[in-house]
């Protein structure tokens, strides 16, 4: 699961995307470029992550701006159709019909994805269920599966038809550490040769499987680059202190009783090695970085 370097040119290019809900600017001029491999999308609650994914998945049109994905421009109906044909989308709350078996659910999605030949479709459904290691339970009803298995069914559904662009909205949420590792491995596999955009609250997801990361807050891109670049931003800006540091951008008590602070350290501060999470909190620049404990 070593993060791979960027492969080839941009496959998805978004320029100045905006979307308002009443007085809320969910997206406020978002520009970004994705290439093949897994890009992580980090941001606090309400940052606009789900909205961005829904726009890129053509579930909702933006108010302003534009994007192309794999050469398709969704502003035209043929572009939208072309994009949807090459898209795999795992929404935040997949709408499962609990009485479906795993096979029937993925088959249903395959029908929606226009795989009309029954024999070829069933073989594709078996292929994707096998890819997420669920062949043994494909005849089980969804309500009888664990949360982790249901997430894998949702990933299998997103993988039907071998899409070139995968949009995954917080797929690792609610999984125990072992399942999360397993799921990360499946996403890393899916990222080989595909463009994957993965929204998550887990900086470890990004550290372990993403070759690029985008930080979104308040509907704006606060950082776009590699995880190493995000971590490097915090070099010299993380320090330990015996008491709470009053001017730190964020600070929290650690298990050994000292405080870990990020921001502008005082002279002679006891500097610590930065983590990706430190870089992420600094990228938020105070926005929702309320981790004082």
Ramachandran angles phi, psi of 115, nearest 5° = -85, 95
Dihedral sign, Cα of residue 187, residue 114, residue 108, residue 129: negative
Question: What distances in angstroms separate CA 123 from CA 36, 172, 180, 187, 218, one per listed residue?
Answer: 26, 27, 27, 21, 44
Residue placing its CB nearer to ligand ATP in the complex, 48 or 94: 48
Report how far residue 41's alpha carbon sits from residue 218's, in angstroms, rounded to the nearest whole number. Answer: 13
Indicate the residue among 43 and 163 with the shorter CB distance to ligand ATP: 43
**H or E, element range at 241:** strand 238-241
Q: How far is the CB of 261 from ligand ATP (least distance, A)?
A: 25
Cβ atoms within 10 Å of 34's Cβ, excluding its own:
24
Nearer to ligand ATP, 29 or 82 (CB): 29
Q: Which is nearer to ligand ATP, 199 or 275 (CB)?
A: 199
Q: How far is the CB of 57 from ligand ATP (least distance, A)?
A: 12
Residue 203 Cβ, how far from ligand ATP at the closest point, in Å?
14
Nearer residue to ligand ATP within complex by CB, 168 or 245 = 168
Cβ–Cβ under 8 Å, residues 244 and 254? no
How far is the C-alpha of 147 from the C-alpha of 182, rounded, in Å? 13
Cβ at position 43, least distance to ligand ATP in Å: 5
CB-nearer residue toward ligand ATP: 202 or 261: 202
In the complex with ligand ATP, the residue whose CB is nearer, 50 or 151, is 50
The contact set with ligand ATP (CB under 6 A) reads 21, 24, 26, 43, 45-51
CA–CA dist 227, 211 (Å, integer): 7
Cβ-based nearer residue to ligand ATP, 128 or 276: 276
Collapse the DSSP code of 83 into the 3-class scheme (helix H, G, I; strand E, B; otherwise coil) and give the result. Answer: helix
Cα 82 from chain centroid (whole Å): 23
**Unique residue bearing structure tokens 């990933």:** 155
Nearest distance in Å: CB 26, ligand ATP: 3
Cβ of residue 46: shortest distance to ligand ATP, in angstroms?
4
Structure-token pair, residue 235: 């070099």
Distance in Å, CB of 288 to ligand ATP, minimum:
10
Contact 263, 215 (CB under 8 A): no
Indicate the DSSP class of residue 156: H
In whole angstroms, the minimum distance from the beta carbon of 100 to ligand ATP comes to: 26
Q: Is 218 helix (H, G, I), strand (E, B) or coil?
A: coil
The secondary element (H helix, E strand) that includes residue 217 is strand 212-217
């Amino acid at each position: 699961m070593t993060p791979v370097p960027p492969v080839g040119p941009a496959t998805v290019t978004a320029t100045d995307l905006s979307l308002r809900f009443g007085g809320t600017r969910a997206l406020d001029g978002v520009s970004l470029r994705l290439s093949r491999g897994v890009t992580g999308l980090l941001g606090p609650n309400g940052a606009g992550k789900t909205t961005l994914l829904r726009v890129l998945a053509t579930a909702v049109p933006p108010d302003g701006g534009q994007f192309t994905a794999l050469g398709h421009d969704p502003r035209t109906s043929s572009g939208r159709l072309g994009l949807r044909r090459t898209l795999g989308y795992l929404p935040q709350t997949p709408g499962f019909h609990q009485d479906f078996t795993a096979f029937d659910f993925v088959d249903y999605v395959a029908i929606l994805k226009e795989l009309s030949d029954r024999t070829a479709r069933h073989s594709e459904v078996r292929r994707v269920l096998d890819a997420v290691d669920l062949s043994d339970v494909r005849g089980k009803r969804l309500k009888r599966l664990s949360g982790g298995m249901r997430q894998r069914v949702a990933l299998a559904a997103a993988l039907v038809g071998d899409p070139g662009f995968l949009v995954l909205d917080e797929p690792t949420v609610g999984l125990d550490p072992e399942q999360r590792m397993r799921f990360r491995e499946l996403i890393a596999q899916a990222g080989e040769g595909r463009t994957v955009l993965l929204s998550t609250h887990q900086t470890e997801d990004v550290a372990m499987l993403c070759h690029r990361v985008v930080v979104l807050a308040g509907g704006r891109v606060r950082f776009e680059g590699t995880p190493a670049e995000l971590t490097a931003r915090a070099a010299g800006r993380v320090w330990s202190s015996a008491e709470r540091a009053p001017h730190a951008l964020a600070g929290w008590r650690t298990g050994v009783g000292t405080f870990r602070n990020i921001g502008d350290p005082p002279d002679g501060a006891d500097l610590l090695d930065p983590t990706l999470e430190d870089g992420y909190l600094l990228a938020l620049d105070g926005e929702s970085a309320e981790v004082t404990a």
